Chain A
Amino acid sequence: MTTLSLDSVFRRLRDTDAWRSVVRHGTASTNRNRSLVVFENLFLHVHPVKVREKTLRFTHTYWLGGIALACALILVATGVLLMFYYHPSVPQAYRDMKELEFVVDNGLFLRNMHRWAAHLMVFATFLHMMRVFFHRAYRPPRQFNWVVGVVLLCVTLLLSYTGYLLPWDQLAFWGVSVGTNMAKEAPLVGEKARFLLLGGNIVSENALLRFYVLHCVVLPVALLLMLSVHIWRVRKDGGVQGPPEAPRGKEEVR
């Protein structure tokens, strides 16, 4: 009789028909199966099957883009949970904050995590941009992905800013009042843009609802779409290090 170790349980599970219908490759630790792990998975296949060892070094990327992506995933998860307790109306929005803080189990924890992840994402995105610039990773063929990155930075800032109003406390109200008054100073379109953004002349319930829709639907969808393009282009443009360097000492065969 075999001992019932965790390993044997997993091995037996992997041999079932149901498991094999999901994961088609075998279980042996061969390079072929390791390739198939990446190759046959919708989410992992943004990666090539093999990567250059150089690119795994910490100092190569400082993993800053990865930190920003991790924050984005955490923000989606915590944000969706917070939505279950939030009404975008005055004064219910503020009451919901109090409810999350004092009544709902782990409500305070989730709100805290959402807030700190948002700050970290803005910070990591900025540092990521600096890293890419000083490594000259915006050079051809990766020019367009740099532009996508700038758009992503703007979307990240807008997401953070629209989320800032939602608690409807003094900090939120005046932070947004001051910010939208800056938009008013833009020539020609400023006043109209502010009216459209706020849905009125003052920061009111209309503005709260608009910021809510932008924060929970429009901007996250835009972020995830652009993020997909960004990550896909990293691979298409040659990986996090760009196209491989030509071999030294040998002439390229043409």
Chain B
Amino acid sequence: MPDPENGPVSDAPPANPERRDFLTRLGVGACAAAAVGSGLVTLDFMKPKVLFEPSTTFRAGSPADYPDGTVRFNKEQKAYVVGCPGGVYALSAVCTHLGCITRFLSDQGVIACPCHGSRFDLEGNVVEGPAPRPLPWLDVGLDPSGLLVVDTSITVAHGKVFKA
């Protein structure tokens, strides 16, 4: 029975199917574009642009302070500075497993992680435990006054000893 108020609901095909199809695609497409766009903008918003994180470089004294076998631990920068025959190198103290701070056990001559039992030798190689990679070697340089400068944000090739 036709309803004069609301009009009949027709099942007949539209007079212009291409036009209807185009409008449907336009509508769905516009909604999708808006959703993706606002998602990307929100994601970008969530990325902090200014970080107030501590400086990544530190001075480690003069090369003469590191005779062969010396290990010094810089607590704030989480790095070891190690003296070896003919030079100095720096090792990250952050465990490659899950980021705990390792400790140098001088009596056993190993670097040990307190969290999951990883152990490293003085060159950073994994001796034991679940750590997937050796401890990264860090960039070591000299400042104008002849003091060692370590940058913990730059890793260098394993075995690259700094020769003063």
| Touching chains A and B, CB distance < 8 Å | yes
Residues of A within 8 A of B (CB): 174, 177-178, 181-182, 184, 195-196, 199-202, 204-206
**Those of B87-101 within 8 Å (CB) of chain A:** 97-100
A204 to B97, CA, bound (A): 20
Q: Is the CB of B46 within 8 A of A196?
A: yes
A205 to B50, CA, bound (A): 13
Q: Is the CB of B99 within 8 A of A199?
A: no
Residue of B53, B97, B100 touching A202 (CB-CB under 8 A): B53
- Minimal beta-carbon separation of A156 from chain B (angstroms): 23
**Those of B23-57 within 8 Å (CB) of chain A:** 43, 46-48, 51-53
Q: Which residues of B contact A178 (CB under 8 A)?
A: 98-100, 115
B side interface size, CB within 8 A: 12
Residue of B43, B53, B98, B99 touching A204 (CB-CB under 8 A): B53
Q: Which residues of A contact B100 (CB under 8 A)?
A: 174, 177-178
Q: 19 A-B residue contacts at CB 8 Å?
A: A177-B98, A177-B100, A178-B98, A178-B99, A178-B100, A178-B115, A181-B98, A182-B98, A184-B99, A195-B47, A196-B46, A196-B47, A199-B46, A199-B48, A200-B48, A201-B53, A204-B52, A204-B53, A205-B52
Most buried by A among B51, B97, B100: B51
Give A182's nearest chain B residue, CB to CB: B98
**Those of B72-108 within 8 Å (CB) of chain A:** 97-100
Residues of B within 8 A of A (CB): 43, 46-48, 51-53, 97-100, 115
- Minimal beta-carbon separation of A162 from chain B (angstroms): 15
Seed contacts A177-B98, A178-B100, A178-B115; 18 additional CB < 8 Å A-B pairs = A177-B99, A177-B100, A178-B98, A178-B99, A181-B97, A181-B99, A182-B98, A184-B99, A196-B43, A196-B46, A196-B47, A199-B46, A199-B48, A200-B53, A201-B51, A201-B53, A205-B52, A206-B48
A206 to B99, CA, bound (A): 18
- Minimal beta-carbon separation of B98 from chain A (angstroms): 4
- Minimal beta-carbon separation of B60 from chain A (angstroms): 21
- Interface majority SS (helix, strand, loop, mixed), chain B: loop
A71 to B100, CA, bound (A): 33
A159 to B118, CA, bound (A): 30
Q: Which residues of A contact B99 (CB under 8 A)?
A: 177-178, 181, 184
A233 to B99, CA, bound (A): 43
Closest 4 CB pairs of A and B: A181-B99, A181-B98, A199-B48, A178-B98
Give A200's nearest chain B residue, CB to CB: B51
Q: Which residues of B contact A204 (CB under 8 A)?
A: 52-53
Give B132's nearest chain A residue, CB to CB: A185
A196 to B43, CA, bound (A): 8
A95 to B100, CA, bound (A): 25
A196 to B48, CA, bound (A): 8
A178 to B46, CA, bound (A): 22
- Minimal beta-carbon separation of A218 from chain B (angstroms): 12
Give A201's nearest chain B residue, CB to CB: B53
A177 to B78, CA, bound (A): 15
Q: Which residues of B contact A174 (CB under 8 A)?
A: 100
Q: Which residues of B contact A195 (CB under 8 A)?
A: 47
Give B56's nearest chain A residue, CB to CB: A201
A174 to B99, CA, bound (A): 9
A195 to B99, CA, bound (A): 14
A205 to B52, CA, bound (A): 9
- Minimal beta-carbon separation of A192 from chain B (angstroms): 9
Q: Which residues of A contact B51 (CB under 8 A)?
A: 200-201, 206
A177 to B47, CA, bound (A): 19
A199 to B48, CA, bound (A): 6
A204 to B53, CA, bound (A): 8
A206 to B100, CA, bound (A): 20
